[in-house]
């Protein structure tokens, strides 16, 4: 399929090349290759896009990114630097690239203001945040965005009418030591990513974020971070047990997934899994993505180009849903 849109696609600042190479050595089979790919935006990436039929890429800063910085000023300053760099780098290629805002999530009003700057001044088409924000004197605290103090931020997101991508990050501090230090091979895609994001998203549901902001659109990756497979059980317990005990959600979990939540294929290239997610959520809420350079263009695109679905579902998931959600103009092979 030509004209695919990919939207969980990472980059890193070139000035962090050595740090990026060290970080890559913790998870990449070829750290040098990974470091070269993630610090490149318009050279190798466009060649891969052309080779594999990706018409448009929405870039985001790599995890853990700003969410790993517990000093509020340092985090905000880095977010501004990243956003300005991304805007300047993709400016010559408006028909190939868009960008998600990078945000420090220490302060809701500051995050809202930076998002507004990115959307209205830089032309960005949403935000991507790497799960909870590290905070506190030693970085061991975690800021979730599901409390009423974050309403000022979510109001701005809905006012700007842009999606918010809730992406994972690695566990840190006490959580790492107690849960993951002796189970290190489960960190990342095998388990910890899904655990973190699913907790955060369901916290937004049960703490009323979507009830207070019914137009909010949140994207999660990796075919839903395990949540589509638990929708029946979550719905049963919410409706039949938790609500009689006091849970105050106005809608069902299936309603929120139908009206507020999107999932992507990033890093999860399984046709039976995709078909299951379509059964649970419908093709209209699913978006193609790669998770480059943590995953390869070849693995993602060769798989997706060979998928057979019903009617126009392949085109919807590969391109048209993203065009509608992000209000995209013309791009390579967009029609």
Catalytic residues: 249
Cβ–Cβ contacts within 10 Å for residue 149, how many?
12
Hunting for tokens 């994207």 — which residue is that?
A: 219
C-alpha 217/C-alpha 149 separation (Å) is 19
Which residue, among 235, 334, 217, 239, has the nearest Cα to 285 in the 3D structure? Answer: 217
Q: Cα(151)–Cα(216) distance, rounded to whole angstroms? A: 11
Contact present, 280 and 231 (Cβ < 8 Å): yes
- How many angstroms separate the CA atoms of 58 and 117, rounded? 18
Q: Which among 325, 225, 240 is positioned nearest to 284, based on CA atoms?
A: 325
- Tokens coding 231: 């929708």
Long-range contacts of residues 66-69, Cβ cutoff 8 Å, at least 24 apart: 66/102, 66/103, 66/104, 66/105, 66/130, 66/133, 67/105, 67/129, 67/130, 67/131, 67/132, 67/133, 67/134, 67/169, 68/130, 68/134, 68/139, 68/169, 68/172, 69/104, 69/134
Pairing of strands 261-264, 4-11: unpaired
Q: How far apart are CA 178 and CA 146, in angstroms?
A: 24
CA distances from 2 to 50, 296, 335 (A): 9, 17, 9
Structure tokens at 307: 């998928």
Q: Which helix (H) or strand (E) holds 142?
A: strand 141-143
């Amino acid at each position: 399929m030509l004209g695919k849109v990919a939207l969980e696609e990472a980059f890193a600042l070139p000035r962090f090349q050595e740090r990026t190479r060290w970080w890559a050595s913790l998870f990449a089979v070829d750290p040098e290759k990974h470091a070269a790919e993630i610090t490149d935006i318009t050279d190798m990436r466009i060649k891969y896009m052309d080779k594999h039929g990706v018409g448009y890429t929405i870039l985001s800063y790599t995890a853990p990114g700003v969410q790993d910085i517990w000093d509020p000023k340092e985090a905000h300053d880095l977010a501004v630097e990243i956003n300005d760099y991304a805007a300047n780098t993709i400016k010559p290629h408006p028909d190939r690239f868009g960008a998600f805002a990078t945000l420090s999530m220490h302060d809701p009003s500051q995050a809202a203001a930076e998002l507004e700057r990115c959307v209205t001044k830089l032309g960005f088409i949403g935000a991507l945040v790497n799960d909870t924000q590290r905070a506190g004197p030693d970085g061991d605290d975690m800021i979730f965005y599901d409390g009423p103090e974050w309403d000022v931020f979510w109001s701005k997101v809905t006012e700007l009418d842009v999606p918010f991508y809730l992406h994972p990050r690695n566990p840190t501090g006490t959580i790492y030591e107690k849960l993951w230090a002796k189970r290190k091979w489960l960190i990342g895609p095998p388990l910890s990513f899904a655990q973190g994001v699913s907790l955060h998203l369901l916290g937004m549901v049960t703490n009323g974020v979507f009830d207070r902001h019914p137009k909010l659109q949140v994207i999660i990756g990796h075919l839903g971070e395990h949540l589509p497979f638990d929708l029946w059980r979550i719905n049963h317990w919410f409706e039949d047990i938790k609500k009689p005990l006091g849970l105050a959600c106005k809608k069902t979990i299936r309603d929120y997934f139908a009206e507020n939540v999107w999932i992507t294929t990033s890093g999860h290239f399984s046709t039976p899994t995709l078909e299951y997610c379509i059964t649970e959520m419908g093709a209209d809420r699913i978006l193609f993505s790669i998770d480059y350079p943590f995953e390869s263009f070849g693995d993602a695109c060769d798989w997706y180009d060979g998928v057979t679905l019903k009617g126009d579902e392949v085109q919807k998931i590969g391109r048209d849903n993203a065009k509608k959600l992000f209000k995209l103009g013309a791009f390579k092979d967009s029609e």
